[in-house]
Amino acid sequence: MKVILARDLQAASERVAEANRNRFRQHGVLAINLMGSPGAGKTALLEATLPRLHPRYGCTVVEGDIATTRDGERIAALGVPVVQLNTGGACHLDPAMVARALEELPGGGRLLFVENVGNLVCPAEVDIGTDRTVVVFSVTEGPDKPEKYPLAFSRADAVVLSKVDLLPHLDLRREDFLDVLGRCAPAAAVFPVSARTGEGVDAWCAWIEAQVTNQYSHPPGEG
């Protein structure tokens, strides 16, 4: 009997992630993995982001959810190509799911957003082959969360602090969030954003544009 150990499965997953990453390189695509708690505002952030970046870069989206096609429908309503992945019960996306979704998306775009399953724990453990990891973290979750869920924040290239329009109604100060993010996500660019009012969306979009430029300042294949 052949026994496949966990480390072999892990290596197989990493190979698929690497294949995704190579595919992005070959096509000059910057792929961003968006993760965060349920209701952190990941889809609302995309709704604020895509109308600005899609005309210039050509965006595509992979929506990961355990169930329903609601998020996919919200993206499709913007005229952006989207694939809805329903995991059935799985608590995070894996690279093979993303690879399967890529088969269904049109080529030619420069930006791919992968919205992971709403979960601040498990998606952070899995490399799906994306180039940047972004945590969406709402002020209503409270400033203790980066210390309580350290992995996602420690690996983030950027943190979008969402729903900042609600700060006046909470017993919390913006500085409390920025302080803890400085400690727990020291490598991350931090963007206070309200998808509802539009606050901070310009700076967040400018960061994404800079990532595309950084990634592909040399022609694809040489960079």
Q: Give the dihedral sign, CA 158/159/164/167.
A: negative
Identify whether the C-beta of residue 107 lies closer than 8 Å to the C-beta of residue 136: no
Instruction: State the minimum distance, in angstroms, from the CB of residue 139 to a second copy.
Output: 9
Q: Which helix (H) or strand (E) holds 190?
A: strand 189-192
Measured at the alpha carbon of residue 61, what is the angle toward residues 59 and 64, in degrees to the nearest 5? 165
Q: Which is nearer to a second copy, 1 or 218 (CB)?
A: 1
Could you say whether residue 66 binds a second copy (CB under 8 A)? yes
Residues 4-33 that bind a second copy (CB under 8 A): none
Tokens standing for residue 52: 């600005």
Could you say whether residue 138 binds a second copy (CB under 8 A)? yes
Instruction: State the minimum distance, in angstroms, from the CB of residue 173 to a second copy.
Output: 16
Could you say whether residue 171 binds a second copy (CB under 8 A)? yes
Torsion of CA 88, 46, 161, 182, to 10 degrees: 90
Instruction: State the minimum distance, in angstroms, from the CB of residue 23 to a second copy.
Output: 28
Which residue in 23, 78, 142, 172 binds a second copy (CB under 8 A)? 142
Residue 7 contacts by C-beta under 8 Å, 6 or more apart in sequence? Answer: none
Q: Where would I find the beta strands (DSSP E) of 46-163?
A: 59-65, 82-86, 111-115, 132-138, 158-162
Which residue in 81, 95, 109, 118 binds a second copy (CB under 8 A)? 118
Q: Which is nearer to a second copy, 94 or 131 (CB)?
A: 94
The residue ranges that bind a second copy (CB under 8 A) are 1, 3, 37-39, 65-68, 70-71, 89, 91, 117-122, 125, 138, 140-142, 144-145, 147-151, 163, 166, 169-171, 196
